[in-house]
Amino acid sequence: MKTAYAIPLALALAGAALPPRSHADDTGARALVARALAAMGHGHDLHKLASIQSSAVTVSYDIVENDHLGAPYPFQGAARETIVDDLKGNRRLLVDAPVDAAAPAAPRSVRTLLSRDLQRTEYLSGGKPVRSAALPAPPGWETDDPIRATLLAEQAPDLARAPDVTVHEALQHVLTFHHGATPVRLFIDAATGLPSATEAVVSMNRATSSDVAWNAWGDLVDRTEYMIWDLAGGRRYPTQWDSFRNGVHLRTTVRADVRFDAPLAPSLFAMQTNDAPSRTGVDELALGQPVSMAPDPKKPIAEIAPGVVQIPGSWYSTLVRQDDGVVVIDAPISAGYAARVLDEAARRFPGVPVKAVVASTGFYWHVAGIREYAARGIPIYARDRNVPILRALLAAPHTLAPDRLARAPRPATIRAVSARTAIGTGRNALVLWPIDEGEQPMLMTSLPSAHLLHTGEMVQPLGPNGALLYPESLFELKQAVRRAGLDTDGLRMIGMHMSPTPWTALEQTLHDAGG
């Protein structure tokens, strides 16, 4: 089953915080920058460098999606791409196969063009775009290349030297500066004079699937380490790049065929589409508004049983009206989105307090709004194995983009669910059940009076024509339902990606899969 298990991360590396901006000219810092540029240039003036091109193989690990706490992490995939950095034009082109830099780009399945302001992406088939997107550029992308980062450091008015540190048993000089609003640290090996790593402190706020997964974690420390330097075209350049987020290994990229100042045809950077960029942030999404690269059910908010309101979207929330208050099942997307869910609850059930929120999973997308509930003092019910994830997320620093909890911190009430747990009595009473045999820690929620079962993300009708995915997870859910003694005759399932669906659909999928 392809799901997303939240991993508690080291939320701040030692010394990651940067000093206040200063316009003082630190001659020690600038001398280190000059030494690094000379070491990489190897007799060439890097100020005159126009472009860097290389082929690359990247192996990625999915630290958002996991079956357990911590490493090892799932293998996400390996990709081949070509990377073209236009230093004079402040842009970078990534394509998923090699291109001839001296000729127009051949048709590719994905082309991404990053500039200082924008990210444009085209998905092509037969050389023609079938889908495209334009978004604000991700923060910090310009500072992950050692040459570009060192040149940016040289230009920064607030360049300063921080205390030396030892990393991988080697002494490192540390420089700090800002690139725009992004705090950056540049590490220079004391022995070689070459950059060994760059760090940028960023926050994720775009309405994309990846940013939704990370926005609730607040200040993120993105670090790239460089090793296996090689002499190419008379200059020195690292051939292995290792990327980390909050101290956890994201990916390894191995570069080859490095070329400096190779001719770049103007058409290489041309995009066949020119979409207006979406400036909507994760906190500005309306209820049901889809997120880029995420499911879009195209369904309206609906009352699916008396007092039970489902809010479809890339990730669903569900409101359950009980005699003494409203229970919200799942808090996805962002704190701002969660606030709109709570506004909808107040509109639908005037004067009725929200008494609890249920976190069906600990997956980053699914709990990205949980900080809003904590900020309002609403108790959180969560699977016992996911509680450390929620506590880490609630404690995550949010200095770059403060939310309500960051502005007014308060302790959260988290109720760990390890066995059958009831919420409420009478109308729309709920029963939470841990899915004990599930690979991913999840809760299912039974609404006996409505004969509904909220399945977390165990059931995902996201296959062709709404087919249910991941028979293994369907089998695990069926076992949990059997142990709980729930009546499946006429039962309807709902979930993180699912409007009411008959239980028989699960049975049929399992039958077809031989289960």
95-113 average pLDDT score: 63
Residue 320: the pLDDT is: 98
- For residue 243, the number of C-alpha atoms closer than 13 Å in the C-beta half-sphere is 20
Q: Which residues contact 313 (CB under 8 A, 6 or more apart)?
A: 287, 288, 289, 290, 291, 297, 332, 333
Amino acid at residue number 307: G
Q: Are 201 and 16 within 8 A, CB to CB?
A: yes
**Distances from the Cα of 385 to the Cα of 9, 36, 257, 390, 481, angstroms:** 15, 47, 46, 10, 20
Q: Which residues contact 281 (CB under 8 A, 6 or more apart)?
A: 205, 206, 207, 336
Question: Cα Rg for the chain, rounded, in angstroms?
Answer: 25
265-271 average pLDDT score: 87
Higher pLDDT, 19 or 432: 432
Residue 64: the pLDDT is: 78
Residue 13 has pLDDT above 90, yes or no: no
SS3 content of the chain, % helix, strand, coil (to 5): 20, 35, 45
Q: Which residues contact 146 (CB under 8 A, 6 or more apart)?
A: 36, 40, 194, 195, 198, 226, 237, 238
Which residue bears the tokens 């799942």?
330
Per-residue H/E/C for 27-53: HHHHHHHHHHHHHHHCCCCHHHCCEEE
354-365 average pLDDT score: 96
Confidence category of residue 182, pLDDT binned at 50, 70, 90: very high
**250-264 pLDDT tens trace:** 999 999 999 999 998
316-337 average pLDDT score: 98
The tokens of 310 are what?
Answer: 């489902």
Residue 15: the pLDDT is: 39
Residue 125: the pLDDT is: 77
Confidence category of residue 101, pLDDT binned at 50, 70, 90: very low
Residue 112 has pLDDT above 60, yes or no: yes
**374-417 pLDDT tens trace:** 999 999 999 999 999 999 999 999 999 999 999 999 999 999 99
Q: 215: which DSSP letter?
A: H
Residue 19 has pLDDT above 70, yes or no: no
Which residue ranges make up each domain of the chain? 27-92+142-268, 294-512
Residue 69: the pLDDT is: 63
Residue 414: the pLDDT is: 98
424-453 average pLDDT score: 94
CA angle 90/91/94 to nearest 5° reads 160
Confidence category of residue 4, pLDDT binned at 50, 70, 90: very low
The mean pLDDT value of the chain amounts to 91
CATH topology for the 294-512 domain:
Metallo-beta-lactamase; Chain A (3.60.15)
Higher pLDDT, 230 or 67: 230
Q: 513: which DSSP letter?
A: T
pTM: 0.89
Residue 45 has pLDDT above 70, yes or no: yes
**164-178 pLDDT tens trace:** 999 999 999 999 999
Whole-angstrom distance, CA of residue 472 vs CA of residue 67: 13
Confidence category of residue 225, pLDDT binned at 50, 70, 90: very high
Residue 68: the pLDDT is: 65
Residue 312 has pLDDT above 60, yes or no: yes
Of the options 1.10.3430, 1.10.8, 2.40.50, 2.50.20, the CATH number for the domain spanning 27-92+142-268: 2.50.20
Residue 25: the pLDDT is: 41
Residue 128 has pLDDT above 70, yes or no: yes
120-124 average pLDDT score: 88
Whole-angstrom distance, CA of residue 242 vs CA of residue 178: 22
Residue 27: the pLDDT is: 58
Residue 72, preceding bond cis, omega within 30 degrees?
A: yes
The 10 Å Cβ neighbour count of residue 157 is 11
**474-507 pLDDT tens trace:** 999 999 999 999 999 999 999 999 999 999 999 9
Residue 284 has pLDDT above 70, yes or no: yes
Confidence category of residue 372, pLDDT binned at 50, 70, 90: very high
The per-residue DSSP string of 370-435 comes to HHHHHHTT--EEEEGGGHHHHHHHHH---SSS--HHHHS-----EEEESS-EEE-SSTT-EEEEE-
Residue 23: the pLDDT is: 37
Segment holding 225, helix H or strand E = strand 220-232
Highest mean pLDDT among 9-13, 31-35, 269-273: 31-35
